[in-house]
Amino acid sequence: MAARTPARFPRVALIGRHGGPDLAAPLSKLAAFLLARGHTVALDAETAKTASADGVAVLDDDALASGADLAIVLGGDGTMLSVARRLAPHDVPMIGVNLGRLGFLTDIPLARLEPTLAAMLDGRYAEERRTLLDVTVARADGSAAHAPALNEVVVNRGGLGSMVECRVEIDGRFVYSMRADGVIVATPTGSTAYNLAAGGPIVSPAMDAVILTPIAPHTLTNRPIVIPAASPVRVQPLIEDRDEVFVTFDGQAGFQLEAGDEIRICRAERTLRLIRPSTRSYFEVLREKLKWGER
């Protein structure tokens, strides 16, 4: 006899780390666990290449977005970033399960997956709404490219360059022209990633904020700035001669910029809906990742 259709998240999509060799076993175990609880389970097409499970449909991104009430992602924070950008136009909540080391977005360990998930599917979870960035790269000829980012958008020099000069505006007001390896525009979610390495602050994901952090700035007083996420940011790199300047999104996608390109960053209309165990605080994860020690 089949289980009753559950009230919460009846249709679940499973998405695994790209090309993960250690994915197949936990994924099919997870599928069986969910099916036994009465959920409909689907795999995304990419994941289905390296793993499969009985009684599970395979869906492309659009079908998955419209046909799932929840996406469970198995991998690391990198996998979560990439899935979050893919599903950004949709409104599917996400749960992150870490296959390797604890992450900020994937803080459910595989070893404790089933009891943790059972509690969450029974309603003991916290839903966080994380700010996403909507990035436009506008070209001098009037054309434009668009991309989302969950952690950060970065404008930086190439491997052989010395510095890039960027003119920065916030809310249409000139801030500075800084010369640096580059500039990071990060969300609170991204504050503990590249931003932290470059000297930026930790910003609680409860904040609706954006952080501008220069990377190795020539002017030492060009310090990180935290502004409201609602304030649009404009970055105009000065690109001359053989300068190589790049834009990247979550460190995973990107391209080389041309002279005259400008990058406009604003808060995306949709937020990322992150479903986390209610028993685990943000600061617990911070303590563990940053080795703050207990006491």
By the criterion CB under 8 A, which residues form the site for its own copies? 156-162, 167, 170, 173-178, 180-181, 194, 196-204, 206-207, 209, 211, 215-228, 231, 244-246, 248, 251-252, 254-256, 281, 283, 286-287, 290-293, 295
CB of residue 43 to its own copies, shortest distance in Å: 26
Instruction: Characterize the bridge pairing of strands 94-98 and 108-109.
Output: parallel
Closer of 118 and 230 to its own copies (Cβ)? 230
Closer of 116 and 248 to its own copies (Cβ)? 248
CB of residue 241 to its own copies, shortest distance in Å: 12
- The type of residue at 157 is R
CB of residue 83 to its own copies, shortest distance in Å: 17
Among the options 54, 61, 69, 77, which is catalytic? 77
3-class secondary structure, 278? coil
Running DSSP on this structure, what letter comes out for residue 243?
-
Closer of 72 and 263 to its own copies (Cβ)? 263
3-class secondary structure, 11? strand
What size, in residues, is the chain? 295
Tell me if residue 77 is catalytic: yes
CB of residue 10 to its own copies, shortest distance in Å: 32
Closer of 66 and 279 to its own copies (Cβ)? 279
Give the other-Cβ count within 10 Å of 197's Cβ: 11
Question: 24-36 and 113-121 helices cross at what angle (nearest 10)?
Answer: 40
Closer of 5 and 278 to its own copies (Cβ)? 278
Instruction: Characterize the bridge pairing of strands 108-109 and 40-44.
Output: unpaired
Q: Which two tokens stand for residue 16?
A: 């695994």
CB of residue 123 to its own copies, shortest distance in Å: 21
What Cα–Cα distance (Å) separates residue 29 from each residue in 93, 99, 105, 113, 280?
21, 14, 22, 10, 24
Running DSSP on this structure, what letter comes out for residue 168?
E
Nearest to 154 by CA among 222, 216, 243, 103: 216
Active-site annotation, residues = 77
